[in-house]
Amino acid sequence: MNATINLESKHFPVLLNELISIISPLYGGTFIDCTFGQGGYAEKILEHKKNDIIALDRDKEVFNNTLKLQKKYKQRFKFYNLKFSQLDQIKLKNNEIKGIIFDLGYSLNQIKNSQKGLSFSDKGKLNMKMGINDFSADDVISKMDENNLTKVFKVFGDEKYSKKIAKEIVKKRKVKIIKTEDLVKIIDGIKKYQKTKIHNSTKVFQALRILVNKEISELINGLVNSFNLIPVGGIIAVVTFHSIEDKIVKFFFKHYSEQRNSSRYFPEAEISERCFKLIHKKPILPSSNEIKKNPPSRSAKLRYGIKINKNCDFNDFREKFKNLIYVENLR
């Protein structure tokens, strides 16, 4: 990475060197980039002449970012405008999948795109849709009842003032359409005396983004589909940026890398085989040098597992996070 590059115009693929060091022993096959974005991971992997990339992204606006790679690498690069929960829809032609990669962060271009409404400084209609969505943040703020708004802000944002914010939203929307700047103003009005290091609206905006994009079920289904698609010996690697998604990823790798009873209801039941081998039980974190060059990387965590078993029952995975999925389906 070039430290002289202006961070305002450059997207940095987080933990790139660490990720490459993990997957490079498997070079000479196909890797799936489930969150193509601006193509930082994909481009680096394609530098090795024997690697192919299958890239996915739910955001159709990243298509322009694919043109350079399609032109340069031709048959070695394939792009699908799909959510990563739809991994089972991609077409494989005798491809030997070596690794599947998830970067759950948002690119600089997406954050700066005012039409997406991911930033507190945006103005206008609320959105937060990242592509292939059923509803927007505007639909949530305009229509969801007070109790459900409270649950969403509390569960997905850990917002201390969830109830007060929800109550004020319902009150204000009776007299006007609440736009992005109005929502920020409502939150600031309730939290004006709070002294924190993060923006007052961070938690509510995170909660809305998770709900609108169904990030919980997307991640769970994406991880399960990855396991089903990749052969034994392949690597699944995930970069997370907030505690909820990291909790899900940590459970996925840790729980299924341990010997377990096949049923929690029958302790004497047959012991289930392990599904993953973990080289690192703790997450890999950005170096101080990377954080200095790219401050948003400070919250990133990289976890990965090597598949060691063909079959795995993920019912307890979904059961573990059923409450999050319940809140995600509130309308």
Counting residues of the chain whose pLDDT is more than 90, the rounded percentage is 78
Say yes or no to pLDDT of 182 above 80: yes
Residue 32: the pLDDT is 97
Among 139-153, 183-197, 304-318, name the one with the lowest average pLDDT. 183-197
Quote the tokens at residue 94. 């005798």
Which residues, at least 6 apart from 99, have a Cβ–Cβ distance to it below 8 Å?
Answer: 23, 26, 31, 32, 230, 234, 235, 236, 237
Contact 111, 119 (CB under 8 A): yes
Looking at the chain, the domain(s) classified CATH 1.10.150.170 span 134-212
Q: Which of 29, 26, 22 is nearest to 96 (CA)?
A: 29
Model confidence over 89-106: pLDDT tens digits? 998 876 789 999 999 987
What is the DSSP annotation of 32-76?
Answer: EES--TT-HHHHHHHTSTT-EEEEE-S-GGGHHHHHHHHHHHGGG
Say yes or no to pLDDT of 131 above 90: yes
Which residues, at least 6 apart from 327, have a Cβ–Cβ distance to it below 8 Å?
Answer: 151, 152, 155, 156, 211
Which one has a higher pLDDT value, 10 or 324? Answer: 324
Say yes or no to pLDDT of 269 above 80: no
Residue 260: the pLDDT is 64
Phi and psi, residue 201, nearest 5°: -90, -5
CB-facing half-sphere around the CA of 264: CA atoms within 13 A: 5
Provide the H-helix boundaries in the chain: 16-23, 40-46, 63-73, 108-112, 137-143, 146-157, 162-172, 180-190, 202-212, 215-229, 243-255, 288-293, 315-320, 322-328
Would you place residue 79 in the very low, low, confident or very high pLDDT band (cuts 50, 70, 90)? very high
Stretch (H or E) spanning 238: strand 235-240
What average pLDDT is seen over the chain? 90
Fold of 134-212: DNA polymerase; domain 1 (1.10.150)
CB-facing half-sphere around the CA of 275: CA atoms within 13 A: 22
Residue found by looking up tokens 């759950």 in the block = 104
Residue 194: the pLDDT is 73
Would you place residue 261 in the very low, low, confident or very high pLDDT band (cuts 50, 70, 90)? low
Residue 6: the pLDDT is 34
Model confidence over 228-249: pLDDT tens digits? 999 999 999 999 999 999 999 9
Quote the tokens at residue 56. 């996915």
Would you place residue 266 in the very low, low, confident or very high pLDDT band (cuts 50, 70, 90)? very low
Quote the tokens at residue 62. 């990243």
Which residues, at least 6 apart from 149, have a Cβ–Cβ distance to it below 8 Å?
Answer: 140, 141, 162, 165, 166, 169, 170
Would you place residue 108 in the very low, low, confident or very high pLDDT band (cuts 50, 70, 90)? low
Quote the tokens at residue 312. 């795995």
Say yes or no to pLDDT of 75 above 60: yes
Contact 283, 14 (CB under 8 A): no
Model confidence over 110-122: pLDDT tens digits? 566 666 666 777 8
Q: What is the DSSP letter of 284?
A: B
For domain 16-109+215-309, say whether CATH 3.40.50.150 is its number: yes
Looking at the chain, the domain(s) classified CATH 3.40.50.150 span 16-109+215-309
* pLDDT (average), residues 158-162: 96
Q: Which of 67, 35, 33 is nearest to 51 (CA)?
A: 33
Residue 110: the pLDDT is 57
Which one has a higher pLDDT value, 1 or 73? Answer: 73
Contact 118, 205 (CB under 8 A): yes
Would you place residue 324 in the very low, low, confident or very high pLDDT band (cuts 50, 70, 90)? very high
Which one has a higher pLDDT value, 16 or 198? Answer: 16
Residue 99: the pLDDT is 97
Would you place residue 10 in the very low, low, confident or very high pLDDT band (cuts 50, 70, 90)? low
Q: Which residues pair with 305 in a beta bridge?
A: 236
Q: Name the amino acid, one letter, at 183.
A: L
Would you place residue 283 in the very low, low, confident or very high pLDDT band (cuts 50, 70, 90)? very high
Residue 7: the pLDDT is 36
Q: Could you tell me if residue 306 is left (phi over 0), alpha (psi between -120 and 50 degrees) or otherwise beta?
A: beta
Q: How far is Cα 37 from Cα 105, in angstroms, rounded to an integer?
A: 9
pTM across the whole model: 0.90
**How, if at all, do strands 52-56 and 260-261 pair?**
unpaired
